[in-house]
């Protein structure tokens, strides 16, 4: 049997009940097929197994051909952020709740993963964003994200006022609870809950979605993904910026957040004939008929 991957890393949401059993079963199956198994160090410590090699994320980035995330979408986001620049390919097994980007169910992991390890899969490259916070021309923070960059107020303060420029051209000032800059992957996350549009993962675009804007005419807008979005904090109490929920809370009035497409993508591997529309139907319950209420 020809192995498509020789070095496979496992990263689990180790605090979740039942992950240990699933992770060890996956590790045994991969090992039996002749591939080296690397288990992320914290995950290895949590599950208490010394049979397989524990490895830092830095080592996984250097050595792994494939990384398998066992958990929810949050676990997959963290794995993607850590490994995307190294071009390690990713597979997500859903051990969480919704599972938009962890698309292999627990019930199907054995057959789906066997096929992927044999080289039978669909590959998909996902856009990431790079964000920098600038203060008086000096960078004070930077990060990358797979889902979204969010500039927002704290939970204890009023609205935040932001000035938005795209490629150096003034777009608008707005007062709102915040502003989301989302990738196509992130368009089904926080941006969707703020009434943003769903972008297909293959679209070369990003979307700006205001959160509870004061002006009801301020609507989401889709932009090409090769633009630079510059967001300046005009007025706020305790403003903050986050990348995939990783929060930097030391923003000040006058700071600028510069958002661009990252110089690399993240490659997801799916079971053969993966269907994005089927995922949307399933996760958003599009297949369910509305419940009709009878008049009393």
Q: How confident is the model at residue 1 (pLDDT cuts 50, 70, 90)?
A: very low
Q: Are 64 and 7 in contact (CB under 8 A)?
A: yes
36 lies in the same domain as 107: yes
Domain for residue 112, yes or no?
yes
- Per the structure, the count of domains in the chain is 2
**Mean pLDDT on 67-95:** 94
* Dist CA 127 CA 206 (whole Å): 9
Domain for residue 292, yes or no?
no
Rounded mean pLDDT of the chain?
Answer: 92
Residues of the domain holding 175: 128-262
pLDDT score recorded for residue 293: 64
pLDDT score recorded for residue 292: 62
| Residues 6+ positions from 150 with CB-CB distance below 8 Å | 178, 179, 180, 181, 190, 211, 241, 242
* Dist CA 196 CA 288 (whole Å): 22
**Mean pLDDT on 138-142:** 98
140 lies in the same domain as 94: no
The HSE-up count of residue 293 (CA atoms within 13 Å, CB side) is 2
* DSSP class of 294: P
The pLDDT > 70 percentage for the chain reads: 95
Total residues belonging to the chain: 296
pLDDT > 70? residue 155: yes
CB atoms within 10 A of CB 51: 11
151 lies in the same domain as 114: no
Domain for residue 291, yes or no?
no
173 lies in the same domain as 115: no
CATH of the domain at 201: 2.60.200.30
Catalytic residues: 73
CATH of the domain at 51: 3.40.50.10330
276 lies in the same domain as 258: no
SS3 content of the chain, % helix, strand, coil (to 5): 25, 40, 40
Q: Are 201 and 103 in contact (CB under 8 A)?
A: no
**pLDDT tens-digit map of 22-72:** 999 999 999 999 999 999 999 998 888 778 999 999 999 999 999 999 998
Domain for residue 152, yes or no?
yes
pLDDT > 70? residue 16: no
**pLDDT tens-digit map of 181-192:** 999 999 999 999
Of the candidates 239, 286, 274, 232, the one whose C-alpha atom is nearest the C-alpha of residue 254 is 232
* Dist CA 40 CA 78 (whole Å): 12
pTM higher than 0.85 for the full model? yes
* Dist CA 132 CA 117 (whole Å): 37
CB neighbour class for 4 (10 Å; exposed up to 12, middle 13-18, buried from 19): middle
**pLDDT tens-digit map of 255-291:** 999 999 999 999 999 999 888 888 888 888 887 766 6
* Dist CA 217 CA 196 (whole Å): 14
169 lies in the same domain as 214: yes
Angle of helix 109-117 relative to helix 19-32, nearest 10 degrees, comes to 30
């Amino acid at each position: 049997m020809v192995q498509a991957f020789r070095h496979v890393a496992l990263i689990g949401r180790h605090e979740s009940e039942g992950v240990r059993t699933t992770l060890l079963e996956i590790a045994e199956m991969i090992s039996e097929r002749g591939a080296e198994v690397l288990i992320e160090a914290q995950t290895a410590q949590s599950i208490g197994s010394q049979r397989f090699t524990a490895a830092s994320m830095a080592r996984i980035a250097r050595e792994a051909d494939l990384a398998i995330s066992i958990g929810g979408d949050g676990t997959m986001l963290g794995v993607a952020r850590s490994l995307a620049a190294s071009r390690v390919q990713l597979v997500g097994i859903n051990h969480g709740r919704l599972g938009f980007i962890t698309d292999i169910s627990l019930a199907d992991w054995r057959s789906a993963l066997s096929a992927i390890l044999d080289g039978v899969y669909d590959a998909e490259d996902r856009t990431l964003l790079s964000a920098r916070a600038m203060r008086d021309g000096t960078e004070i923070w930077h990060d990358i994200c797979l889902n979204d960059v969010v500039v927002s107020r704290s939970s204890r303060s009023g609205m935040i006022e932001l000035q938005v420029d795209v490629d150096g051209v003034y777009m608008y000032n707005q007062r709102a609870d915040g502003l989301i800059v989302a990738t196509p992957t992130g368009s089904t996350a926080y941006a969707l809950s703020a009434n943003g549009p769903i972008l297909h993962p293959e679209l070369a675009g990003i979307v700006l979605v205001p959160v509870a804007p004061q002006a009801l005419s301020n609507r989401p807008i889709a932009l090409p993904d090769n633009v630079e979005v510059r967001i300046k904090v005009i007025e706020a109490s305790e403003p903050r910026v986050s990348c995939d929920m990783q929060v930097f809370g030391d923003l000040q009035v006058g700071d600028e957040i510069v958002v661009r497409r990252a110089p690399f993508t993240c490659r997801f591997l799916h079971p053969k004939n993966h269907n994005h529309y089927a995922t949307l139907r399933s996760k958003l319950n599009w297949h369910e008929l509305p419940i009709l209420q009878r008049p009393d």
